[in-house]
Amino acid sequence: MAKKSGKKKKLIAGLTLGILLFGSAGVYAAQYGPFGFNLVGEQPNGSVLTPVNQLITPAGTQIKFGGNPISVAVNPNGKTAATIVGRNNYGGKGINVVDLASGKMIKQDISLGLSYMWGLAYSSDGSQLYATGSSGTTGKVVVMSIGTDGTPTIQKSISLPNATVGGNINPLDIRVTPQGKLLIALNRDNSLGVLDPKTGALTKVAVGNAPTSILVNENIAYVTNQGGRAAQSGDTTIDSSGTKVVVDPKTGATSTGSVSVVALTTNTVIKTIPIGVQPERMTQSGQYVFVANTNSDTVSVIDTKTNNVVQTIDIKPYPNSPKGSAPNAVTVIDGKLMVSLGRDNAIAVYDWKAPDVTNNKDGHNNNQPELLGLLPTAWFPVDIAVATTNKKLVVANADGIGSRGPARDLTIQGITVTGHSSYAQEGSLSLIPFPNPEDIAKSTTQVYANNNWYGLKDLNAKPRKNIKPVAMPERVGEPSTIKHVFYIIKENRTYDQVLGDLGKGNSEPALAQFPQKVTPNLHKLANTFPLLDNMYTSGIQSASGHQWVMQGTNTDYEDKETDTGNVKSYPGGAGDAMAYAPTGHLWDQAEKYQKSVENFGEDTTSFTGSAPYGNWTDWYKDYQILDGQQKGNLHVPVGNYSATSDIPSLGPITYKPFPTFDTNIPDQYRFEIFKQEFEKHVKNKDLPALNTMWVMDDHTAGTSTDNPTPQAMVADNDLAVGKIVDLISHSPYWKDSVVFITEDDAQNGLDHVDGHRQPAYVISPWVKRGITDSHYWTIINMVRSIEQILGIPAMNQNDFAAEPMSELFTNKPDFTPYNFEQNQIPLDTLNGQPSSNTAALSNTQNVTPEAKDLSKQWTEWSNNNKDKFSGKHATPDAVNANMLNHAVWYATKGFDKPYPGEKKALTPDEVMKQPESSAPSPADND
C-alpha cells in the first residue's frame, strides 16, 4: 500500500505541473487575471489585491493584526505561538500570542518598549521568551516569563553596546543555547553576540558581513551572513551601513553569501562556508542544515558532519522561471522541504531525501528534489514555524493584506470621507494544516493564478520577423514606432492629494491638498492624455519605492528593512548595496541589450563641488539666469558640482551637473540643466533610447524657514514637469517619444482607495487622448511597458508576469505638442518671511492667536529638521513621516483643520507623542 500511495502522490504532482505547463491560459485569465478594473484591497470573493500585481488567497486560517510580523515562534509545549512586529508605528506595538488549537488571538499588542523589533525565541522548556530590537538608537534584548495561558510578562530589558562602526548595533535573530546563553545576530557589528541573560555579560564573535539568522546544533552555531564574506584584495566593494561588502562590478548588488560555523565551547569561528547570495533563515533535519538564499533563488544543504555544502536546490516555482522568488525561510516536515517564497506569496513543497555524495568528486549532489507544488500565503511570507501537536505550519506574512489597517476619517465642509495611508499596515499569521497531495495540487493552481503565471509563454513569446512597427509591440523585440523613453520619478503624493479635485475619475475632493491652482500642469496632463485613476506605487517609502521603480522588484533585505524602520540603512534610491536586486536595474537591462541610456539624478547619492553651496534663493537666481530672466554670474558654474552614485553601472551614464535629492535646489534649476543637455542631443541627433530623471521637490521641506512653502514647492515641481513635456513635445523627438511619470511612493498623504494609489502619467503622440483608464496598473506594469517598447526582456519574475499598458496606446498618432501652464502661485514664497505665515494660514477660517501660534510652532519644528530637508546632507525621508505629514497638512489645509483621524489641530509636541512618531528616522543608527 505504501508504494501505491507514493506513486499516487507523484502522479498527482506530475499532473498538477502538467496542467500548469500545458493547460489553457484563457480560462484562468478570464477568472483571475489580468486583474481587470479591481481596486487594491479586499475583493468580493475574499481575496485581496495588492499593489504589486498579485492577488492573495492564503491557505488555512488567517489571523490579521496591525503591523508587520517579522518572526514567529511556537512554544515548546505546542499550545501557543508568538509573533513580533517589525516596528511600533505601523499599526502594531510588539508581540501577539495565538492559541494554536482554536486559531484565535489570545493576546495582542504586548508592548516591549521598543521602537523596532526583529528576533524571537523561547527557552527549551517554554518558560522564557526572548526578543531583540531597539529603543531609539540602542539595541536591546527583552527577557520575558511565560504565564500558564502562554502570555509573556517582561522581566527586564538588556541594553547592548554600540556597533564597532558606531551607532546602533542592530540586533536581529536570537537563539538559546543548551546552556541557556542567548545568541544574537549583531547585524551592524558583523558579529555573533553571546549573552548571559542573568548577568548581561556579552561576548562578541566576529563572523561575516551583516549576520542575520542563527541555528544551534548542540555546541555549534551556524550564522548566515547576508552581506557575505569579508572583502579581499581585488574585490569590488560598496558600503553597507559602515561595512564594505563584495558586489558585482556592474550592478553593485552583493555577490557573495556565507555561513559562519561557531564553536560555542571556545566562541571561535571554525569554518566559513560559501553559499548563495544573501542567505537568510535556516532549519535542521537530522544531520543537514538548510539555508534559504534570497538573492540566488536557491537553498543550500550543509552536512553538519563535514560542514560542507552537499546540495544546492534551485528554486523555480515554474519551469525556467527567472529569478525573483526570494526564498527566505525553510522547514522540513515528514521528508518534505517547505520553502517560504517571499516574492511569490507561497510555500514551495519539495519531496526531499538525503543526498548521496559517494560518487561525486566535488562533494555536491546536484540531483534536484521534486517540486510537489505550492501553498498560497498572504503577502510576503518571511518566517515559518511548525506546530507539531496541531500539525500546522505557522507562517508570518510581513505585509499580510497590505495597507488595509484603520483608515482615518476626515470631515471638511460637512463632508466626511475616509482616507488610507500606505503606513496603515496589516500583517497576518497563516495557520496551514500539513498538506496532502490533493491540497497541494489544488493550491498550486491557485498560486499560479494569484501571480498571473498562466499565459507566461504567450506574454513572453519570441519576436516574429517582418512585423510592422506599432506603438506598443505585441511581443518584446518586435519594432515600435517609439524610439525614445523618458522615465520621470516624482515624490510621495497620493492620487487624491493631487487629482482629488479633477472632477472626473475616481477622485475625492476633500483629500486634495495640492489642487489645480497649485498643480495646473498635472491637471492639464491628466485631462489631455490618459487619466489613470487606478494605478499604484509598489513601495511604502523611498528606500523601497525607488527599488521597485528601477528594478521592478525589491529585495527581501530591503523589504524587511522597510518593515523594521530602516535601522541598518536607508537607501532612498541608492546608498546600500544590499538593497540592489541581483537581476539589476532597468538601465542595466537596457545596456545589456545595446540600448543607450542617460540618467538625470535618479539613484544618485551626492552632489559635490568646490564653489560655496548657497541656499535655495541662490539656486533659484541661478535658474533665473539660465532661463534669461536675470543677468549676472551663476553662484555655482554649471559643472562645478557633480552628482555621484555608489552603483558602478550608473556613474558612466549619469549627467553629472543634474542635482541629486535636495529640496534646497528648485526643480526649475533641474529643468534648465536637463534642457541644456537635451538641446545638445537635438543638435547632435543622438538622444539616448532611455532617459531616467528624478525631480523631487514635491517632497517639500515642511515649513522650514527660507525654503518655499509646501504649496510653492509642489508648484515648482508641477511647473518643471510641464516644461519638460513641453520641451520634448516641441522637439523633433516628439514624433517617436513617450514620457512615463510616476511617484516613487505615495507615503506623504491619504487616499480614499489605498495609500499606494498615485497620480501617474503616460504621455506621447502615440497614446489615446482624453480618456479615463481605470484598469488596475502598478509600477511593475510601467516598467514592463518601457521594456516592451525598447525591446528588452523582463528582468525578473515580477515584470516577466506583468502586462504592458497596451490599451493606452494607439497607432494613429496625434502630434499636437503640449504647452505648459504657468504657475498660479509664486514659487519664491518662502517660509519664515512676513508673508509666509499668511500663506500658511490662508486656509484657516478663524485666524485666531492660537492658530498663529500653532503655525509658528510647526515652523520651529521644520527649522530644527531643516538640514534633513535641504543642503549638502539632505536625505530622502530622513524626517519622521508622521511629523512632516502633519506640518504639510496644516500648511495646505489650514491650522484649524484637524489632521484626518484627530479631533483638533495639534502641536508638534502632541504629534511627537503619537505611536506613529515613535520610531527612529530612517537609518538613524547613530
Q: Reduce the DSSP state of residue 198 to 3 states and report it.
A: coil
Question: Over the chain, what is the mean pLDDT?
Answer: 90
Which residue has cell 494660514?
A: 841
What does the pLDDT read at residue 188? Answer: 97
Domain topology for 481-808? Alkaline Phosphatase, subunit A (3.40.720)
Give ∠ CA 566-345-442 in degrees, rounded to 5: 170
What does the pLDDT read at residue 413? Answer: 40
The whole-number average pLDDT for the span 539-556 is 94
Query: Which cell is 189 given?
Result: 557589528
H or E stretch including 132? Answer: strand 128-135
The whole-number average pLDDT for the span 792-817 is 98
Single-letter amino acid code for the residue at 527: N
What does the domain layout of the chain look like in residue ranges?
Answer: 481-808, 836-917
Which residue has cell 482629488?
A: 500
921: which DSSP letter? Answer: P
Burial of 807 (0-12, 13-18, 19+ CB in 10 A): middle
Strand-strand pairing, 288-293 and 761-763:
unpaired
Strand-strand pairing, 772-773 and 531-532:
parallel
Strand-strand pairing, 370-376 and 346-351:
antiparallel
Strand-strand pairing, 606-608 and 243-246:
unpaired
Burial of 96 (0-12, 13-18, 19+ CB in 10 A): buried
751-780 tens-digit pLDDT: 999 989 999 999 999 999 999 999 999 999
What CA–CA distance (Å, rounded) separates 695 from 703? 20
What does the pLDDT read at residue 7? Answer: 42
Query: Is the preceding peptide bond at 317 cis, omega within 30 degrees of 0?
Result: no
What does the pLDDT read at residue 925? Answer: 58
Per DSSP (E only), the strands in 147-199 are 152-159, 171-176, 182-186, 191-195
The whole-number average pLDDT for the span 842-849 is 70
Characterise 345 by phi-psi region: left (phi > 0), alpha (psi -120 to 50), beta (else): left
Phi, psi dihedral angles at 739 (to 5 degrees): -115, 120
Phi, psi dihedral angles at 859 (to 5 degrees): -65, -45
408-441 tens-digit pLDDT: 655 444 445 567 777 788 999 999 999 999 999 9
How far CA 756 is from CA of 38, 541, 545, in Å, comes to 14, 10, 10
Instruction: Supply the DSSP string of 366-409, one letter for each residue.
Output: -PPPEEEEEEE-SEEEEEEEEETTTTEEEEEEEEEEES-SPPEE
Q: Is the pLDDT of residue 847 over 90?
A: no
The whole-number average pLDDT for the span 188-201 is 97
What CA–CA distance (Å, rounded) separates 444 from 218? 37
Per-residue confidence band for 25, with pLDDT thresholds at 50, 70 and 90: very low
What CA–CA distance (Å, rounded) separates 575 from 580? 10
Which residue has cell 500545458?
A: 22
What does the pLDDT read at residue 359? Answer: 53
113-160 tens-digit pLDDT: 999 999 999 999 999 999 999 998 899 999 999 999 999 999 999 999
Query: Which cell is 379 given?
Result: 503577502
Phi, psi dihedral angles at 799 (to 5 degrees): -75, -20
What CA–CA distance (Å, rounded) separates 213 from 383? 11
Looking at the DSSP bridge assignments, the partners of residue 582 are none
Q: Reduce the DSSP state of residue 573 to 3 states and report it.
A: coil
Give ∠ CA 739-740-744 in degrees, rounded to 5: 140
The whole-number average pLDDT for the span 549-554 is 97
Task: Name the nearest CA neighbour of 222 among 298, 169, 300.
Answer: 300
What CA–CA distance (Å, rounded) separates 532 from 526? 8
